[in-house]
Amino acid sequence: MSKYIRKRIIEAIPILIFISVISFLLIKLAPGDPIRAFINPKMKPSDIARIRHNLGLDKPIYIQYILWLKNVLKGDLGYSLINSRPISTQIIERLPATILLMGSSLLISLVLGIILGVISAVNKNSLIDNILSVISYIGISIPSFWFAMILIYIFSVNLKLLPSVGMHTIGVDSKLDILKHLILPCTVLSFGNISVITRYIRSNVISELSEDYVMIAYSKGLSKKSILYKHVLKNAILPIITILGMSLPNLVAGAFITETIFGWPGMGRLGIKAIFGFDYPLIMAITMLTSILLIIGNLLADICYSLVDPRIKELGR
């Protein structure tokens, strides 16, 4: 197993380098000037040139990239161009909120997706199966920002049951308050994943129920519940590990949109602010951190799959 993990980590290194190069080039070639936050119309060209020199923006792009990479390898992410604060400090402040939102969404997606998928499969072609199928198709196709607006309009504006902005109520410091603020963004972020997992579980369970071993189990007198939960579901759930790994990019992208709409103080909202503020060092830091988290997530998914199916590990040697 350790050899398999080492191999996957080594494979991830060139991917990260490629992502960093492409991201750096795209950011540098994008319209806008990162020093616009430092200048005013009364500044002399010499002053603007001095600011550009101090930030290292007068050097060739490849030199800027090498200097940035050296600093990153030393653990120095630099300073924000917008507020001059250390980027590492801002990330440390925002990361827990994003982990809470994404972790809650992933857990809810997994639990509800499996439960609803099994219910839909064992009631194939029934009314409840048709209802769950329609809801799943809606969840897969509906834009997250539009779904967020609907929930805000219903539960915050009209019913006034749930808060729609932030992570805390001003002056209130309790876990229950955080939970109330978490409900709407978590619902938006998890709805699509629940729908995808529900469809996969339904399809896999229906497929497994037609296998020969199920007929043999029935002939031995095993109950339907025992066959379903001890045999069928065990085999049907395996591909979900891969699906979770593949859904991480969508989850991260959804977090950027969801955090911005609901004012959730996480990495996604920080990234959107950095993009609109042309804060290139902060954009690069968030891009690389997100890439690392995605690679780690997919690595963990592969490890979990190899644990439950040793054939995968043998193929990776």
Read off the pLDDT of residues 168-224 as tens digits, 9 standing for 90 and up.
Answer: 888 777 889 899 999 999 999 999 999 999 999 999 888 888 888 888 888 888 888
The residue range of the domain holding 65 is 2-73
Q: Are 40 and 129 contained in the same domain? A: no
Query: What HEC string does the chain produce?
Result: CHHHHHHHHHHHHHHHHHHHHHHHHHHHHCCCCHHHHCCCCCCCHHHHHHHHHHCCCCCCHHHHHHHHHHHHHCCCCCECCCCCCEHHHHHHHHHHHHHHHHHHHHHHHHHHHHHHHHHHHHCCCCHHHHHHHHHHHHHHHCCHHHHHHHHHHHHHHHCCCCCCCCCCCCCCCCHHHHHHHHHHHHHHHHHHHHHHHHHHHHHHHHHHHCCHHHHHHHHCCCCHHHHHHHHHHHHHCHHHHHHHHHHHHHHHHHHHHHHHHHCCCCHHHHHHHHHHCCCHHHHHHHHHHHHHHHHHHHHHHHHHHHHHCHHHHHHCC
311 falls in which pLDDT band (50, 70, 90)?
A: low
Instruction: Write the CA distances from 53 to 44, 58, 211, 282, integer angstroms.
Output: 14, 5, 69, 19
Q: Is it the case that residue 307 has pLDDT exceeding 80?
A: no
pLDDT of residue 314: 55
**pLDDT digits 0-9 by tens, 231-263:** 888 788 777 877 777 778 888 888 888 999 999
Q: What is the mean pLDDT of residues 68-85?
A: 85
What's the angle, vertex CA 167, arms to CA 164 and CA 172, rounded to 5? 105
Q: Are 186 and 241 contained in the same domain? A: yes
Q: Are 68 and 120 contained in the same domain? A: no
Beta bridge partners of 86: 79
Q: Are 125 and 19 contained in the same domain? A: no
In a domain, 81, yes or no: no
In a domain, 86, yes or no: no
Q: Are 57 and 135 contained in the same domain? A: no
Q: What is the mean pLDDT of residues 278-294?
A: 86
In a domain, 110, yes or no: yes
Q: 286: burial class by Cβ within 10 Å (0-12, 13-18, 19+)?
A: buried
Q: What is the mean pLDDT of residues 82-103?
A: 90
In a domain, 84, yes or no: no
- pTM, to two decimals: 0.83
Q: Are 46 and 157 contained in the same domain? A: no
Closest of 205, 208, 197 to residue 108, by C-alpha: 197
pLDDT of residue 313: 55
Q: What is the mean pLDDT of residues 272-278?
A: 85
In a domain, 49, yes or no: yes
In a domain, 89, yes or no: no
Q: Are 163 and 214 contained in the same domain? A: yes
pLDDT of residue 128: 94
pLDDT of residue 312: 55
pLDDT of residue 104: 93
Q: Is it the case that residue 35 has pLDDT exceeding 80?
A: no
In a domain, 35, yes or no: yes
Q: Are 151 and 41 contained in the same domain? A: no
Structurally, how many domains does the chain consist of? 2
Average pLDDT, the chain: 85
In a domain, 85, yes or no: no
Q: Are 10 and 130 contained in the same domain? A: no
Q: Are 69 and 99 contained in the same domain? A: no
Q: Are 218 and 311 contained in the same domain? A: yes
Q: Are 277 and 161 contained in the same domain? A: yes
